[in-house]
Structure 1
């Protein structure tokens, strides 16, 4: 602070020109408080009072900011484009020098001073040291990775301790956490679940500034593991079939495919192009990450195909004598099961997988074959000869 007056005594004149701070023979400026920590985008009130000797009249009052340099004229902030729309003087030209600064930004962090000028050419005074204003934003401090079941504390941090009493509020994915408010700027999540994953931000109740969102990543082992099959209807030999392993886990799991007890593939998608009858069977997928593993239930691939490998067996297999009982068995591989008919020469003589002749006669000698048929195709066995002795 400095005062410049024109008193009659040379010694007094020397002291005043030298820039004495604080209170000097009736000249003073006081600030309450002298240090302010304010939240970005908020409004700050810098309370201030001043005194000066009787007999003087105030011609001009204004606020300025540091640094103060000798010989450099102090700038009236109300004329500064960065402040003119945001600064409002609430005081008077007697004792009150309070000012309001709205929508503060991080760039507003400075020391601010009140200056008044009297009607005497030497009666000028700047209240130094002034008000130190620190403007802070909010940042969420969170562990980068947590495991399901852990207890986690998130902190809403500022670069300085807010001057005004603050009530902190929290949100996840831009949704308020059931209007939760925490006075000690901490959010405690006990026994976190996968549903607690998300982007967390904090704010101070009654203020517009919101912290940048921070991702909370909850790790957990595979769960809800299942298999889907495409196409979902009837599968016919020659079709392309895709099995998809659906698994919920964090981090993503490694997938392997098992048919029976054998690993047959890996990756979330298992594709079988031109599936054959050998592709029928029970499949399941195994989902594993560093936190655990889980198997899906078995799913059955039931591949439809026409008859194949059709043949006839004869019992007894040796010499057949008139009067013996003879059984012909039609062996056929198909899905679904085929209908069987028996043909001797060009005549159908029976049906069913087993064709039995009791007390065979010489008339039964000849060539026999079976016909196997289902909705996907048909096939004949080779001829077999019954030679009756």
Structure 2
């Protein structure tokens, strides 16, 4: 009996212990201030005593502690039942109490934090407090924010839709009020809207990039709200492009200024950095002139680096950094100037007609034919441009062209131009020198051959100067004699020293009136010859005075011929004004009948050395005058000095020059022909006595004298 009574007492105090009163509710519920929450509650079972299906069920939620007989509940479904003032309209009992006893709490306040229990009343028997199934309401600060859905990048001028959503857990909760604020939102579309989410349509502008857009959520109780702010990303073309430079591998980069020029020295380290602001990210590239050197990936960095570890001369030029995306492009250029000392110095040699002969480097020998015109152009690579100058023998030469000091013109090359010419190129970073050795070559130039009788034979010597040294040979009749050789009738001896060549010929046999003897000199640039005309007769003694007189008469006759020719020409031109004729010398006495001059004058041996110098055509033919030797050139080493010739057997030479009338324009042709007569020498080798036996001298001693 005691056990049933004890169980009845225990069941009367707790529905959880009484098998017929069961309720399911969470022990704790957490909610943020101002939000809405539904506390889930389920009636599992309660006794079916004292009520029918028509009997209404009334449920009550009380804040613990509470006296259910006197204290008003926070929420109830009983009509006319008073509730707590602070919960009126906010707390609501949901469900029909057949199974659900859930509680809806709107606009949760901090004061709502407490424990709550449910009471069920139905009929006369079911009146039960489920205190064993209380739940605790925890109220925290409002931290939940709405979610704003916006594209990552907005295209300027293109309409876009933005969505703001506040995540409600329970559909039973009332919708909050949404509002949008920001520079990109027009006043027309910024009004508040009540819904579970908000949609905003706008057309972004370029100036909207970086501005803020706020979605605000307001709840029913005044002053409780939450918001979410986003920053608009409006696409734009590249801008604010900056180029930075560094001239050392470890130094910091410095932004380059507005100047488009950058000067560095050859071999220096150089780093160029390009950076640009754009959305989306731009593709960066470095280009030298029209050649792309490097580029960046569109999804890579906002900067692009170009490194020149050792700047070379060919690295000079315009460098351009370009940033480009789908909305546009921006670029910036700088002109890189590479400075270096003069290098690759060379000389371009050309003739007067600008024909380029060759490019010469340092310590080069240049061989030039005498009389040529040369143009030496000094060329170098340097930055800044080098100052060019020419020097010879340590003395600076005046430039041929003041506007171009690197040009040296030599209009007529002479032997005195031989030597070393030096070109100097200099700028603030250094200097360079180049030396060119000039060697002048020319055709042979003969000195007059000299002949004499010695020891019963004819001895002749010949000398010539040329560059390169000439070769000498004797033409005796139809034969050629050269080098050093000898036999019973002749002996040839040759020698050379520097530009001089010497040769001597000794003849002991084979002399005749038709014999032709000449000395010839030649090298690769030309040739000259000198002819010796032999006029031998019988060896007779002729007095020295008579022989001299005959020579003087002959020279006088030769001198009168050009004077007479000039006089006749002038008379033809000036027919109206005749000029007085010059006094002619008295003619020699006529010989007796049957007697000739040659039979009157006989000698045992007479030699007329007649020198005819005929240069071959060449560059020097018009420049060389009648004088066969230049005063600036020394005589050949083996040539006989005048003193040695006086010691030979012939007593003296007789040489005459004929003065003529003044030259005129009408006599130009004659004067040109007259230049070919270089000189004439009559050589009387010794004293010969006269011989009066005319019958024995019937043959001719000589037949003619030739003038050239």
Equivalent runs, 1:254-273 vs 2, <5 Å:
254-267=283-296, 268-273=304-309
- Say whether 1:97 aligns with 2:126: no
- Tell me which residue corresponds to 2:384: 336
CA RMSD across the alignment? 4.8
Q: Cα offset for 1:304?
A: 0.8
- Tell me which residue corresponds to 1:251: 280
Cα pair 1:143 1:216 within 8 Å, conserved: no
Shift in CA distance, 137/74, structure 1 to aligned 2, threshold 3 Å: farther
- Say whether 1:202 aligns with 2:176: no
Which deviates more from structure 2 when the two are superposed, residues 94-103 or residues 265-274?
Answer: 94-103
- Say whether 1:287 aligns with 2:287: no
- Tell me which residue corresponds to 1:42: 34
- Tell me which residue corresponds to 2:177: 166
- Tell me which residue corresponds to 2:483: none
Q: Cα offset for 1:96?
A: 4.6
Equivalent runs, 1:141-152 vs 2, <5 Å:
141-152=149-160
CA distance in 2 between partners of 1:154 and 1:95 (Å): 46
Pairing partner for 2:350 from 315, 321, 326: 315
- Tell me which residue corresponds to 1:23: none
Q: Cα offset for 1:300?
A: 1.2
1:330-363: CA deviations, max 9, x gaps? 1010000111222223333346322344555543
- Say whether 1:346 aligns with 2:394: yes
1:113-159: CA deviations, max 9, x gaps? 98699xx9987799xxxxxxxx9852112234443332222222124
Which deviates more from structure 2 when the two are superposed, residues 337-346 or residues 220-229?
Answer: 220-229
Q: Cα offset for 1:274?
A: 0.2
Hey, which of these two has a bigger chunk of strand by percent?
A: 1
- Say whether 1:302 aligns with 2:337: yes
Shift in CA distance, 246/269, structure 1 to aligned 2, threshold 3 Å: same
Equivalent runs, 1:1-389 vs 2, <5 Å:
41-42=33-34, 65-69=39-43, 76-77=62-63, 95-98=82-85, 99=87, 104=108, 137-159=145-167, 163=174, 166=177, 168-170=179-181, 181-184=190-193, 185-193=198-206, 195-197=208-210, 200-204=213-217, 206-211=223-228, 217-223=233-239, 225=241, 227-231=243-247, 234-267=263-296, 268-289=304-325, 291=326, 294=329, 296-316=331-351, 319=368, 321-322=370-371, 326-350=374-398, 352-357=405-410, 361-385=414-438, 387=440
Cα pair 1:167 1:181 within 8 Å, conserved: no
Shift in CA distance, 123/276, structure 1 to aligned 2, threshold 3 Å: same
CA distance in 1 between partners of 2:176 and 2:107 (Å): 18
Task: Tell me the TM-score normalised to structure 1 length.
Answer: 0.60
Shift in CA distance, 181/68, structure 1 to aligned 2, threshold 3 Å: same
Q: Cα offset for 1:302?
A: 0.9
CA distance in 1 between partners of 2:146 and 2:64 (Å): 29
Shift in CA distance, 183/259, structure 1 to aligned 2, threshold 3 Å: same
CA distance in 1 between partners of 2:117 and 2:191 (Å): 35
CA distance in 1 between partners of 2:155 and 2:216 (Å): 26
Bigger RCO of structures 1 and 2 (CA < 8 A, at least 6 apart):
1
Cα pair 2:340 2:382 within 8 Å, conserved: yes
Cα pair 1:227 1:296 within 8 Å, conserved: no
- How many positions carry a matched residue from both structures? 305
Cα pair 1:257 1:263 within 8 Å, conserved: yes
Cα pair 2:423 2:433 within 8 Å, conserved: yes
- Rg larger for: 2
1:219-268: CA deviations, max 9, x gaps? 44545556444445531111122222333333323333322222222332
Cα pair 1:237 1:303 within 8 Å, conserved: yes
- Tell me which residue corresponds to 1:10: none
Q: Cα offset for 1:308?
A: 0.9
* Unaligned runs of at least 5 residues, structure 2: 1-19, 22-30, 47-58, 66-73, 91-104, 131-141, 248-255, 257-261, 297-303, 358-367, 400-404, 443-708
Task: Tell me the TM-score normalised to structure 2 length.
Answer: 0.36
Cα pair 1:236 1:304 within 8 Å, conserved: yes
CA distance in 1 between partners of 2:45 and 2:320 (Å): 85
Cα pair 1:40 1:137 within 8 Å, conserved: no
CA distance in 2 between partners of 1:149 and 1:321 (Å): 85
Hey, which of these two has a bigger chunk of helix by percent?
A: 2
Cα pair 1:280 1:300 within 8 Å, conserved: yes
1:250-301: CA deviations, max 9, x gaps? 3323333322222222332111110100000112234344x25635243211
Q: Cα offset for 1:66?
A: 4.1
In the TM superposition, structure 1's runs of 4+ consecutive aligned residues that sit over 6 Å from their partners are: 71-75, 100-103, 112-117, 120-126, 176-180
CA distance in 1 between partners of 2:62 and 2:437 (Å): 118
CA distance in 1 between partners of 2:434 and 2:329 (Å): 47
